[in-house]
A and B are shown apart, each in its own frame.
Chain A
C-alpha cells in the first residue's frame, strides 16, 4: 500500500500527539497542541488530562477549541476553574508536560515571543508577548516546543528571552531559581524531532521526518546541533491518524 499523502501541519500534529502520554497532565496552548491533544485522546491516550490556561481541566476534546479560554476547553471536563488553579498546579509540580511555540529559539531551548529586532522600547516587530509561555516553561516538568524549522527561527542568539529554556547552559536554570529538574524536553519541527544533551543542555537531533536528511536539518538551523551516531526515523501520519484529524479533530480545517 502507498503511504498516505499529508500536509506539513498534519505531520507536526501527528508527531506531537505521539509524545502525549495517557494519564499525564498536559498544559495545552493555542493551535497545534490543541489538535495534537485531541488526536492523542482518540488514538492512544484516552485519559490525557488537558489543562488550559484560563481554567479548563480534563476536557474531552471533541470539538476543536479556538481560544484557550473557550467553552470547548472544559467540554465534558473534570473542572472548570480559573487561571490560578492551573498556574499554581504548575508551580506545585502537578503539570507533567507543557506545549509551547515561539517565533525564535536558541540552542538551549530559550524562546522568544516578545519582539523581533530593535530594542525592547523601540522594537522592529512587536509580537504577542509571554502570555502563559513563561509560566509553562518555568514550572512544567517537561516542555515540548512545536515550531517551523528555519534559520530565522533557530538562531545563535534570539532577540529576547521570553520563556526560559536552559538559559545559558548547565546549571543556569537552578542558578536563576527555577524549580530543579525542569526544562525543555523535545522540539518538534516540520523537519525533525530534537532533544537536549543531558550534560551540555545543548539541542541535539533525535529523529528525522520522512524524506528529510541530516543535511536539511543542519542547513536550516542557525547554530551547531549535536548530531549523534544513531538517529531515528519518524513515521508520517498513519491512515488512521489522518482519518481522525480530518473527520473528527479539525473538520472545519482551521489548521490542516
Chain B
C-alpha cells in the first residue's frame, strides 16, 4: 500500500496490537469477581502519571464527572488525553493535569469556547496538540476495539486537520481511491459513566451510547462509574442491553448523580445554572481556581460533593417517571 502523505502531528500513543492482545490475555481476568470500589481507590489503583486517558461521553451528558473530579483531586500533573469534551476536558485542563492532547473538540457548546483550554494552549502549557475529527477519534477507538492497528476512512482528507494529525493518506489497494488511515488508539485508562452495572462490571446504558462501546474495548484499564449497582439477575434478564461486558472492566464505582452538573438520560436533567455560572466565571483564571477549590479540592469525595450541591437542587433535577 503506497503512502501518499503523512500528517506532521505526533503519534502520542503508538498502537501495538500484539502487546494489547497479550495484555488482555494476562491482565484481564475472566473470573466473576466483585470489582466495586470508591472513586479514590479506583483512580489511585489504576491511574499513573504519564498515562494516556480517555473520558466518555462528554461533560454535560453522561460523563463520569465524579471520576474526573477525583483525577483532579489526586493531583496528577502529566497525563495525555483524548480531547473530545466539554466540562470534563475543561476541568482537567484548568487543573493543569494534561500535557499532550489528541484534540477534536474542547468547548462549551451553547456557551462558546473553553477558556481554560485557550489559556493552556496559547500559553504553551499544553506541550502538544494533535488534530482529529470527532469521527476520527472514535474510529481510532474502533480500530483498537477490532484488534487492528489502523482503520481506513474518508474524512480529514485535503485539510489542515489532516496535516496536523498523525494520520496517513494511502492509495487503496482495491479501488485506487485515496483513503485516510487512522492509527488505533489504545488507552492506558478509560473512564465511562453508565446507568447501571453489576458488581462484576457488566454495564447497561439508556439512550444514545456515544462512543462507549468502542472506547471500552480500546482501554487497557477501564473504570466504570454507575448511577446504580444492580443484581446480576437484572443484567441477565436483559442481556441484549449490556453494552460493556464485565471482562473489559477493572473497577466499578457506585456514583449516583455521577454526571453532575451534566445530565443523565431518563434520570436527571443537567444543572443549567451550575454550568452557566462556570462557563461565565471561567473567563477569569482566579475564579477557576476558586471553583476548583470549592468543588474539588475542598471536598473529600463524591458524597461530600453532592452534599455541597444540596438535596433540594438534586431533587429538582430529577426526571419524574423516566420521561424521554
Contacts and interface: CB of A to CB of B under 8 A. Distances in A.
A160 B103 CA distance: 15
B134 A135 contact: yes
B265 A71 contact: yes
Interface string A80-101: 1111100100110000000000
Contacts of A31: 110
B134 A130 contact: yes
A172 interface: yes
Interface in A88-139: 90-91, 110, 114, 120-135, 138-139
B198 interface: no
B61 A54 contact: yes
Interface of A is mostly: loop
A133 B179 contact: no
Q: Is the interface of B mostly helix, strand, loop or mixed?
A: mixed
Contacts of A73: 208
Given A71-B266, A130-B161, A132-B133, A177 B324 contact: no
A6 B134 CA distance: 35
Interface size band for B = 35 or more
Interface in B80-136: 83, 86, 103-107, 109-110, 113-114, 117-118, 121-122, 124, 129, 131-136
Given A122-B124, A127-B113, A177-B177, A83 B210 contact: yes
Contacts of A124: 122
- Which of A122, A129, A135 is packed against the most chain B CB atoms within 10 Å? A129
Interface residues of A, number: 59
Contacts of B155: 87, 91, 134-135, 138-139
B53 to A, nearest CB: 18
Contacts of A132: 105, 133-135
B122 A167 contact: no
A244 interface: no
A156 interface: no
8 contacts: A69-B210, A84-B142, A84-B214, A125-B118, A126-B118, A139-B155, A162-B161, A177-B178
Pairs A-B, 5 closest by C-beta atoms = A177-B178, A176-B158, A128-B107, A55-B208, A131-B105
Interface of A: 30-31, 52-56, 66-71, 73-76, 80-84, 87, 90-91, 110, 114, 120-135, 138-139, 160-164, 167, 172-173, 175-179, 254
Given A69-B60, A129-B83, 15 more contacts: A70-B270, A71-B266, A80-B207, A81-B209, A82-B213, A121-B129, A126-B122, A132-B105, A134-B135, A134-B156, A134-B159, A138-B155, A139-B155, A161-B158, A177-B177
